[in-house]
A and B are shown apart, each in its own frame.
Chain A
Amino acid sequence: MSANQFLTVICQLLFAALTITTLVSYIRERGVIRRDIALMFSSLGIPIVVVALLQSINAPEAAVTFISLFSLLAAPYLLLRLSRHLQPVPQSVLRAALIFVVAAWIAEMLSVIFVPALSSAVGLTVILYFIVVNAYTMRIFLRGMSRSSGIARQRIYLAAAGSGLLALAFIIALMTLFIPALSNLLIGIAYIILVASPVAYFLGFTPPRWLRAMWQLHELRSFLLSMTSKPMYERLSVSTGIDELCHTAIRAIGGIASAVIREQGIERNVAAQIGLDTGQLDSALKAPDGIIERTFLKGTPLSVCAADNISVSDRMLLASVSAEMMHTSPIMTAEGVWGVTIVFLHSGVLFPEDDLALLNLLTQQSAVFLENSLLVDELRVHSGEMESRVDARTRELRESREEYRRIVETAQEGIWLTDASFKTTFVNKKMAEMLATTIEDMLSTPPEDYLDGDWLGIVEQLKTRRRAGQGEQYESKLRRRDGGVLWALTSATPLKDDDGKLVGSLTMVADITKLKEAEERLLQLNAELEERVASRTADLITLNREMEAFSYSVSHDLRAPLRGIDGFSQALLEDHADQLDEDGRHLLNRVRAAAQRMATLIDDLLNLSRISRSEMKWENIDLAELAHSIIDDLRQSDPTRDIEIAVAPEMCVSGDERLIRIALENLLRNAWKFTRNTKAPRIEVTPMLEYGADVYAVHDNGAGFDMAYADKLFGAFQRLHSMSEYEGTGIGLATVQRIIHRHGGRIWAEGAVNEGATFYFTLQVPQPERSGTADDHDFTR
């Protein structure tokens, strides 16, 4: 078998294979385009198969030529029909082609049977026809190619190549007629080209799976490259992803418009669109029998062609964009159909299944992107929120820091922070000013260096207490850097971490230097005052001594002459009675009485001063017992009196018994005396609970007194009665008052003329440390 024969066989086998493949494809999937493809290849493949079959059964040559020629002649016409899907072919051209097929066939048959001489002329015409039609379809394919893109473009390109190669093969075959010398070579070349043509057709019209996959990968790669070439923030955003999907879909499958419809809840809206007017899609979004609704429901890619039997809404949708075809693909995410990609295509799509597959591939790839983008968007929203929250918080912190800084800096107190090892970590300006130094100096100096030398002893105690977690307020003396003194009132607080461990101390320092200086001045003044008091006291003591000496002298020296007056008057009365008449004796008795009265006065005065000077001896006394004892004495000294006495039982008080006795004796003696002219005299000694817990009273129903003079009762030498009525020196009540006062008590009286008198007194609780000195002030009054 020669090379030419081999190539012929290859060529025949290829065309046969193409025929079978396209037929199978049409039978499987139907569709106008597939039918036309199958027909075209059948016209080329059938003659080969039939000729082979007929030759094998040795059928007559004429029959073989008849069938194969007719079939072969139909091929260019069928090719034209097929090219219609890419570009409208004028009806006249088709008709002319059909007439030529029939005419050529009849001419060929006649020439073969009747005029074999014409055979070569007819053959030449047929070859020319083939060349013209193939060239024409090649042009249509090339045009269609320019309009399409992606895999379809590749396939149309191959189809064009197939047609072109076929035309070329015929041209070369034709050339053998003119250059017979090269006929062998040219026929060889023609055969090679003829083999290449079905290969191109094969790859274009029925590309094998690996080739499709390669093309798809290529498209996908370019899509991915375009996506990944964008900056990360743009790439990973939903809107960018959707836009890119629209663009890529148009580019990859040669659409005229595209859109991405997104479903959010029950809402569906157009998320991105290219080549569409706003609102153009809206009515079709939810049409129940529309392609979009169906895609959402099924979740599979769909394709609709105007040539097919389609729903009204789909037809309207196609018409609205002047498209012949539309593809949809669901965008599937983990949660289901996230959205739908729709691409509209112009007429002239030869391989819609490729477009759909590619669209689906791109869409699903986008879905991955979109899903990521959604997450990123979500993240972005979250991080945006976080960022704004962090911003707000940072601002708040800054503001609050600023506020604290202002407080700390404008504070009128020093603020001093130390760490756990008592090293200064912070001081405010005020603190540095107080110590007449700088903040830097303070930060580099141990705190105790500022303490006055005499105060260093407290440092360890302070540290120990701080470590024990105790805060405290204390005064301390600090040394200013300019040599001055800073008296500080310091409030120290230990600072602890969450575990209660000491991390430092906060110390607030107030400058109390002025206060302290004032205090010192005050102390000095006090000392001076005390000195003066001491000197005054000493003066008083001296005075008191002089007074004592005076009293002593009075007691001795004033009484002596009185004794002389009395004694010698008596001697005169005794020794010279005969020389005196009654009147003289009376006068001498008056002299004696006056002297004795003077003596009583002196005694009373001495008593009064002694009461003020004597040391107090506190003990428990029963006033009742004391009163009874005094009254017994009175009764003894004046047994003629018949007085009703009422002394309440047990009136326990605390006081100096001797003095209390003197006071009570004076009061009772007065009562005794002033009831002298009273019928049924009565004296009572009783506690007066209605006046208070410690109020006692001595009551009589005697002469009484006029309340108008009540304030004069207790004055020394004050008397409310004449001597002739009731004798007395007028010192008794002054003495009583002084005694009561020495006991820290009070005395007052109530009475009315001829209706008796009541003396009330209180005795205060004992004060054991009471010394006589304080009472000496009384003495000078």
Chain B
Amino acid sequence: MTTILLVEDNPDDEALTMRAFKKSHLANDVIVARDGVEALDYVFGTGAYEGRDIADKPHLILLDLKLPRLDGMDVLKRIRSDERVNLIPVVVLTSSREQEDMVRSYALGANSYIRKPVDFNQFVQAVQQLGLYWLVLNESPF
């Protein structure tokens, strides 16, 4: 069972993303982190996830950029700077279409940058393709 870490603070987006996963038939184990700190706690087995085996890495992290406490960029930076977890594919899934955000994300080691479309059908399509690619087609390094 592959695990997806969804870092998303907006419950609507979370619900819609979960719905999209369901519609895409990606029956994976989705763990939701509501902010950057929580996301890192999960990855590094700290805080609320104290004691979690960090070797049990999520197969994919879907990372929003605008997050409370610690934003997406910082989370990405921390993950990429720790060699225990730095190979986890991280897909930035955001509302932002700012060139700067995109460039920075890739520079920090994001594997993909996907903008969340407003049209839900398109969103579903995007999530479908995303899952298909990263969880099925892509060969995971671990």
Contacts and interface: CB of A to CB of B under 8 A. Distances in A.
A595 B120 CA distance: 11
Contacts of B118: 559, 562-563, 566, 595-596, 598-599
Nearest to B10: A560
Given A570-B120, A596-B118, A596-B119, A563 B97 contact: no
Identify which of B10, B19, B117, B118 gathers the most chain A CB atoms within 10 Å of its CB. Answer: B118
Interface of A: 551-552, 555-557, 559-564, 566-571, 592, 595-596, 598-599, 603, 606, 610, 614
Given A556-B65, A561-B12, A568-B12, 17 more contacts: A551-B98, A555-B95, A555-B97, A557-B66, A559-B95, A560-B10, A563-B116, A563-B117, A563-B118, A564-B12, A566-B119, A568-B15, A570-B121, A592-B120, A598-B118, A599-B119, A614-B99
Contacts of B66: 556-557
A557 B66 CA distance: 9
A557 B13 CA distance: 11
B105 interface: no
Interface in B76-128: 94-99, 116-121, 123
Given A570-B121, A603-B97, A559 B16 contact: no
A610 B99 CA distance: 9
Contacts of A561: 12
B95 A567 contact: no
A596 B120 CA distance: 9
A570 B19 CA distance: 11
Contacts of A567: 12, 15-16, 19, 120, 123
A560 B97 contact: no
Contacts of A556: 65-66, 94-96
B97 A571 contact: no
A566 B117 CA distance: 10
Q: How large is the interface on B (under 10, 10 to 19, 20 to 34, 35 or more residues)?
A: 20 to 34
Interface of B: 10, 12-13, 15-16, 19, 65-66, 94-99, 116-121, 123
Given A567-B19, A568-B12, A560 B95 contact: yes
Contacts of A569: 120
A598 B119 CA distance: 11
Contacts of A606: 97
- Which 7 pairs between the two chains have the least Cβ-Cβ distance? A599-B118, A564-B12, A567-B16, A567-B120, A570-B120, A556-B95, A559-B95
B95 to A, nearest CB: 4
Identify which of B94, B95, B98, B99 gathers the most chain A CB atoms within 10 Å of its CB. Answer: B95
Contacts of A560: 10, 12-13, 95
A566 B120 contact: yes
Given A556-B66, A568-B16, A571-B19, A563 B120 contact: yes
Contacts of B97: 555, 603, 606
Given A567-B120, A596-B118, A599-B118, A552 B98 contact: yes
Identify which of A557, A559, A562 gathers the most chain B CB atoms within 10 Å of its CB. Answer: A559
Contacts of A603: 97
Contacts of A610: 98-99
A604 B106 CA distance: 24
23 contacts: A552-B96, A552-B98, A556-B95, A557-B66, A559-B116, A560-B95, A562-B118, A563-B13, A563-B95, A563-B116, A563-B117, A563-B120, A564-B12, A564-B13, A566-B119, A566-B120, A567-B120, A568-B16, A570-B120, A570-B121, A571-B16, A592-B120, A595-B118
A551 B98 CA distance: 9
A621 B123 CA distance: 35
A614 B98 CA distance: 11
A596 B119 CA distance: 6
A563 B98 contact: no
A595 to B, nearest CB: 6
Nearest to A593: B119
Given A556-B66, A568-B16, A595-B118, A563 B123 contact: yes
Contacts of A599: 117-119
A563 B93 CA distance: 13
A563 B96 contact: no
Nearest to B121: A570
A469 to B, nearest CB: 65
Contacts of A555: 95-98
Contacts of B123: 563, 567
Contacts of B120: 563, 566-567, 569-571, 592
A731 to B, nearest CB: 15
A599 B119 CA distance: 9
Contacts of B99: 610, 614
Contacts of A557: 66, 95
A60 B44 CA distance: 211
Contact of B12 (A551, A563, A596, A614): A563
A563 B16 contact: yes
Contacts of B121: 570
A457 to B, nearest CB: 53
A108 B118 CA distance: 202
Nearest to A602: B118
Contacts of B19: 567, 571
Contacts of B98: 551-552, 555, 610
Nearest to B11: A564
A520 B118 CA distance: 61
Contacts of A570: 120-121
Contacts of A562: 118
A568 B16 CA distance: 7
A610 B97 CA distance: 11
A566 B122 CA distance: 11
A606 B99 CA distance: 11
A611 to B, nearest CB: 12
B5 to A, nearest CB: 20
A589 to B, nearest CB: 12
A603 B121 CA distance: 18
A493 to B, nearest CB: 65
